[in-house]
Each structure stands twice: as structure tokens, then as C-alpha cells.
């Protein structure tokens, strides 16, 4: 094993033994599902001397051979201070334990690279005196998320009791989440199920994809609400909650979500993002056990699209 600088902080020390021959070191590492790292991030780690092959500093273009030992150091992420911001929230429900909001399209849920302000978390920190700290500095109170350009219902934990209770329900698939989506094409069936594992895209690490061998189980149920010739309006019921699940699954069956900038190349409507709205949320209150049910109306910009198709 490599000698390490005593002052170097290590979050994780990983070892790989590739079975593939003649593949570049950076390509191989960026394809590893457990890392979820982009190729550019891998190359930076290599440049910083944090990747070694057979105990020797590796090079990005090194062609791997069977029997090679790759050692990768992952430094801990740098925590940034998240500032409260006085951003209005569309609060559907609030009590001492939870908040349910209707997130607008275009708003990021929690701070991340390139978005350290203007997020739901920034707004929550200004609204609440205290949030569950289980999610860490960058994600206080956040128990699930919506993509930036997906609108709709989001539940937030205000304390650790609520956080643990809500995450347990999500883990046990006891939270019911329904979405509304407009897709390209005319689906043959009135309702159906897409059961296809999802993982990181093998080439474009910023995308997700159906990955049969290494993906995580993902199940999406859909029902046709209305047909508009070359477009179909659907209600989506998620059985699992993988990243970009609805968008990936619908694109996989040849009916991508209208306006999706990542998984569809078609453009027609003047939408700020994909036509995907978290319409209904049903779960049990983490303290009382009472069943709570919330709905959020389709945003006006999406209603306008439907009217144009009438």
C-alpha cells in the first residue's frame, strides 16, 4: 500500500483489481458505479497523486492489465457554510415536525457545485429556527429531492425524530408519490409498468441510464390520463426512487418527457424544463402516525401547454 502524507485527510481508501485489459485508467475508474465520479474528477484525483497503480502514481492514459492493483484515495468533501436567504416558499403544510412545500420549476433543492445560493435549503434556513441536522450542513432537513426543473411537492424534516421517521418510510416504500408528465408519442397501453434497473451512464457520468447488469432495481407505474395525438399525458406512480427515474424510464421505452433537456433531443414547447410535476404525496406523520395526503396543482406554464394541445 502507498505511503500517505500524515497530514492528508482521508474519507475513503479504495482498492480495485480490474478484470478488463487495455482500458485507460481514468475510463475504468469513472465507470465504477460505487464511485459515482465524473471522468474529469477522476483525472483531477490522478493529477493530485491520489491514484496509484501497483503502488506507483498512476497516469490517466495508463492501459490497465489483469492483475493490476489500483489504490484510490478519496479526500473528505469540503463543507461550505450555507447562508439563510429570504426566499418565499409555497408552504402547503407545516407543524412542529414537518414542512411540505410546492417547489417551483427551476429551483434547486440543496446546495451543490454551481448552486450554493437560491436553493430550497437556503430558504428553509431563513424560515426555520432549527432543522434536522441528519442530512449534514448542505442538506439539513432534506429527506428526498426533486430535480431542479421538476416542480411539485417536497417534504422536509424539522427535527431528527421526523427525519428518521420519514426516511424509514421512504426506505420501506411506504411513501406514495404520484407525478404528472407529458411525454412524446402515443403509448399503446392505457397503463403499464417499467421494471428496469438504473445506474450511472457508462460513458456520460452526469447522466443515469438503464443498466441491466449493475443498476439498482427501479420500478415505475404509469396510467394514461389523456391522449393528444403525438403526445400522451400520464400519471406516474413511483415504487422506487432512483435518480432521474421517471425521465430515464420513459426515455427507455421511447417516450421521453416533453422538454427534458438531458434525455430527449426533441424541442417544441417553450418550457423552462421538463413537463414533470410531483402532484401527490401521501405518508404517515412521523410523530402521530396519522396519514397525511397532499396535492399540488399543475403549474400554469404546464397547463398552458395542455391547452395548446386541445
In Å, how far are 32, 38, 79 from 29, measured between CA atoms? 5, 9, 24
Sign of CA dihedral 37, 43, 44, 49: positive
Cα distance between residue 142 and residue 120, in whole Å: 9
**CA distances (Å), origin 198, targets 8, 33, 195:** 35, 11, 10
Q: Scan for cell 399503446, then name that residue.
A: 188
Range 174-204 burial, b when 16+ CB lie within 10 A, else e: ebebbbbbbbbeebeeeeeebebbbbbbeee
149 is catalytic: no
Host H or E run for residue 165: helix 160-171
Q: Which of 26, 147, 149, 260 is catalytic?
A: 147
Question: N- to C-terminal Cα distance for the chain?
Answer: 66
Q: Which H/E stretch holds residue 123?
A: helix 120-127
**Which helix (H) or strand (E) element contains residue 251?**
helix 245-252
Rg (CA), the chain: 22
Q: Report the catalytic residues.
A: 147
Amino acid at each position: 500500500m502507498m505511503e500517505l502524507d500524515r497530514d492528508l485527510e482521508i474519507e475513503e481508501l479504495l482498492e480495485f483489481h480490474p478484470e478488463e485489459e487495455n482500458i485507460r485508467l481514468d475510463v475504468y475508474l469513472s465507470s465504477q458505479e460505487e464511485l459515482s465520479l465524473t471522468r474529469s474528477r477522476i483525472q483531477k484525483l490522478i493529477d493530485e497523486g491520489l491514484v496509484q497503480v501497483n503502488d506507483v502514481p498512476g497516469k490517466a492514459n495508463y492501459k490497465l492489465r489483469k492483475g493490476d492493483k489500483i489504490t484510490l484515495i478519496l479526500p473528505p468533501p469540503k463543507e461550505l457554510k450555507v447562508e439563510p436567504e429570504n426566499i418565499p416558499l409555497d408552504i402547503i403544510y407545516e407543524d412542529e415536525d414537518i414542512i411540505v412545500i410546492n417547489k417551483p420549476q427551476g429551483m434547486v433543492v440543496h446546495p451543490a457545485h454551481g448552486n450554493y445560493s437560491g436553493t430550497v435549503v437556503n430558504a428553509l434556513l431563513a424560515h426555520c429556527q432549527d432543522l434536522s441536522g441528519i442530512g449534514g450542513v448542505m442538506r439539513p432537513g432534506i429527506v428526498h429531492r426533486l430535480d431542479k426543473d421538476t416542480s411539485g411537492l417536497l417534504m422536509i424534516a424539522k427535527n431528527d425524530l421526523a427525519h428518521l421517521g420519514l426516511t424509514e418510510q421512504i426506505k420501506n416504500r411506504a411513501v406514495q408519490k404520484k407525478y404528472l408528465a407529458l411525454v412524446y408519442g402515443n403509448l399503446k397501453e392505457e397503463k403499464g409498468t417499467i421494471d428496469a434497473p438504473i445506474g450511472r451512464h457508462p460513458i456520460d457520468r452526469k447522466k443515469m441510464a438503464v443498466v441491466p447488469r449493475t443498476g439498482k432495481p427501479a420500478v415505475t407505474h404509469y396510467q394514461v390520463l389523456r391522449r393528444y395525438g403525438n403526445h400522451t399525458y400520464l400519471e406516474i406512480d413511483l415504487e422506487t426512487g432512483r435518480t432521474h427515474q421517471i425521465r430515464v424510464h420513459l426515455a427507455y421505452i421511447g417516450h421521453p418527457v416533453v422538454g427534458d433537456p438531458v434525455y430527449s433531443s426533441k424541442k417544441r414547447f417553450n418550457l423552462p424544463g421538463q413537463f414533470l410535476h410531483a402532484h401527490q404525496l401521501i405518508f404517515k406523520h412521523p410523530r402521530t402516525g396519522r396519514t397525511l395526503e397532499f396535492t399540488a396543482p399543475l403549474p400554469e406554464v404546464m397547463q398552458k401547454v395542455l391547452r395548446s394541445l386541445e
